[in-house]
A and B are shown apart, each in its own frame.
Chain A
Amino acid sequence: MSVNLDTLDQPLAERRGRRENRRLPQRYRDILPNPPAALPPTPLSPVPEATLPPLLANSPAREVLKSPRNKFGLFRQYYATHFPEHDPDEHTTSEDLLESSSASLVDLIHPYPNLSSFLLGEWYWNDGLKKSQSSFANLLNIVGHPDYRPEDVSDVNWRMIDAHLGGNPKSGDVDDGWEDERASDGDWTQTPIRIKVPFHSRMKHPGQEEFEAGKLYHRSLVSIIRDKVSGPDFHHLHLEPYELYWQPGEEDSQPVKVHGELYSSTAFVEAHRTLQDSPPEPGCDLPRFIIAMMFASDGMELTSFSDAKLWPLYLGLGNNSKYRRSKPSCHAFEHVAYFETVSLRDLSLQNLIDPSFLSCQVRSSLL
């Protein structure tokens, strides 16, 4: 055994020579995502913008078309006359599949001018409302850290930073306005909600009576869809559904169905097939596609101290990848409406309930 006398006085761990290009152990190796394999060129391409592939009775029969497999053995299977010309995955690069933060440290700690002040400010706002042992330990960790520089925090204008955090920047940039204020699209409408309320036959005036129960703020679904489809987001919309299969082994091995996106679901495939099988609109040979609507609504409290509530209805498109839908920066979800709820106060205004009665008894028990 040879001992290098030069490094004898160093700790054992530092003595070992550095091996370059060492591979990480298997469990730490990360396989990067890989977009689906490119589709074979369509026989009709390049399609001039004005002409459209005919979908009439004399068009070629639909058949099962399989795309090549990608790195992971995944392939797409279409049931169509030809592979779609519009393939959103064509534009997918491996960068789209990776979630990485490109923001610089300066952007991340904005409006704090340096890391020391950011850590202090972060501790002040986010480390609980009360003083505690652990909070004090956290503070000691910040100011005791070798990178902490007291001179960095001495000149900081804390009041201005807090105003900025509170949404009142003294400086010119006001980009945190609400979506509704910025988009003065004016396509919101108000429609009175009319409901029928029944009264028992032994009541004074039995039978049904119609009441106006508030107003619904809503947008036209059709105009939302038009905007989505004609806008730049269209490049990311999957028009033609497909089935995704996994076939890692030999060409003749049994492929396994892969579930993931709505546009690779059985429901979408069947809806698309039903649409293609249905007779086209008279005199229209435009290609027909499904727009997959996905609604979501959830009531929420706006504040901790009042009963201010919102109950918004959102719309996302299943033609969009779930990875895009889940990214707030893609603005993939649209506000469609704000639901109204029944409140006795509203109904009492219309003399459904005697207001004086409401104030003394019902409010305590029912509101």
Chain B
Amino acid sequence: MTDRNGGKGPNGPFMTHCHREIYDAQWDIILDDEFLAAYAHGIVVQCCDGVWRRFYPRIFTYSADYREK
């Protein structure tokens, strides 16, 4: 990096980009294909009352700090 940038270290926008990329990449891992399939078609689970039901996960809230900087 320094080598490519004429001896200068990374700047602010560069680090912001990396923070955002790494954050998005991790959500990409968490929201995996299994989850996306469940989101679209639901998952069939036998609940502890013995009844089978089909559940569709939906994301309602996300409480977090703004962490891209």
Residues on A facing B (Cβ under 8 Å): 47, 49, 52, 86, 191, 193-200, 203-205, 213-214, 216, 218, 220-222, 225-226, 229-232, 234-235, 239, 262, 267-268, 271, 275, 281, 284, 286-299, 311, 313, 318, 336-337, 339-342, 344, 347, 352-354, 357, 361-362, 365-366
* B53 pairs with A296, CB closer than 8 A: no
Contact flag A341-B19 (CB < 8 Å), given A275-B56, A357-B2, A361-B9 = yes
Q: Are B60 and A230 in contact (CB under 8 A)?
A: no
Bound-state CA distance A286–B67 (Å) is: 41
Q: What's the dominant secondary structure at chain A's contact region?
A: mixed
A354 in contact with B2 (CB, 8 Å): yes
Q: How far, in whole Å, are A284 and B18 apart by their CA atoms in the complex?
A: 45
Q: Which residues of B contact A361 (CB under 8 A)?
A: 9
Q: Which of chain B's residues have a CB closer than 8 A to the CB of A353?
A: 1-2, 9-10
Shortest B3–chain A CB gap in Å is 6
For the complex with contacts A291-B55, A297-B64, A298-B64, 14 further pairs of A-B residues with Cβ separation under 8 Å are: A47-B51, A49-B49, A199-B1, A200-B5, A204-B3, A221-B35, A284-B44, A294-B60, A294-B61, A298-B65, A318-B61, A357-B9, A361-B9, A362-B10
Closest to B62 in A: A295
- Check A195 against B34 for contact (C-beta < 8 Å): no
Residue from A197, A225, A267, A297 within 8 A of B60 (CB atoms): A267
Whether the pair B9, A49 counts as a contact (CB closer than 8 A) is no
* Cα-based distance from A290 to B59 in the complex (angstroms): 10
Distance between Cα atoms of A292 and B5 in the complex (Å):
47
Residue numbers in A under 8 Å from B44 (CB-CB): 284, 286
A–B pairs, 17, beta carbons within 8 Å:
A199-B4, A230-B46, A230-B47, A262-B60, A262-B61, A287-B51, A287-B54, A288-B42, A291-B56, A293-B58, A294-B62, A297-B64, A337-B29, A339-B26, A340-B22, A353-B9, A366-B9
Which residues of B have CB within 8 Å of A271? Answer: 58, 60
- Total interface residues on B, CB under 8 Å, equals 50
Question: Assuming A293-B59, A366-B9, is B29 touching A235 (CB within 8 A)?
Answer: no
A113 to chain B, nearest CB (A): 42
Contacts of B54 in A (CB 8 A): 281, 284, 286-289
Rounded to whole Å, the gap between the CB of A290 and the closest CB of chain B is 5
B5 cross-chain contacts in A, Cβ below 8 A? 200, 203
Give B38 Cβ to nearest chain A Cβ, in Å. 5
Pair A203/B10 contact, Cβ less than 8 Å: no
Complex partner residue of B9 from A262, A318, A362, CB under 8 angstroms: A362
- In contact, A295 and B58 (Cβ under 8 angstroms): no
Cβ contacts under 8 Å, A352 to chain B: 1
Q: A229-B47, A230-B45 are in contact. Are A222 and B26 (CB under 8 A)?
A: no
Tell me how many residue pairs across A and B have CB atoms closer than 8 Å: 182
Q: What is the minimal beta-carbon distance from B64 to any residue of chain A, in angstroms?
A: 5
Interface of B with A (CB < 8 Å)? 1-5, 7, 9-10, 15, 17-19, 21-23, 25-26, 29-32, 34-35, 38, 41-65, 67
Partner of A226, one of B45, B50, B56: B45
Contacts of B29 in A (CB 8 A): 191, 193, 216, 218, 337
Question: What is the chain B residue whose CB lies nearest that of A292?
Answer: B60
The CA-CA distance from A337 to B27 in the complex, in Å, is: 10
Distance from B18 Cβ to chain A, minimum over Cβ atoms (Å): 4
Residue of B nearest to A313 (CB): B30
The interface residues of chain B lying within 8 Å CB-to-CB of A281 are 41-42, 54
By the criterion CB–CB under 8 Å, are A234 and B47 in contact? yes
* Residue in A220, A268, A284, A341 whose beta carbon sits within 8 Å of that of B32 in the complex: A220
- Bound-complex Cα distance A239 to B30 (A): 24
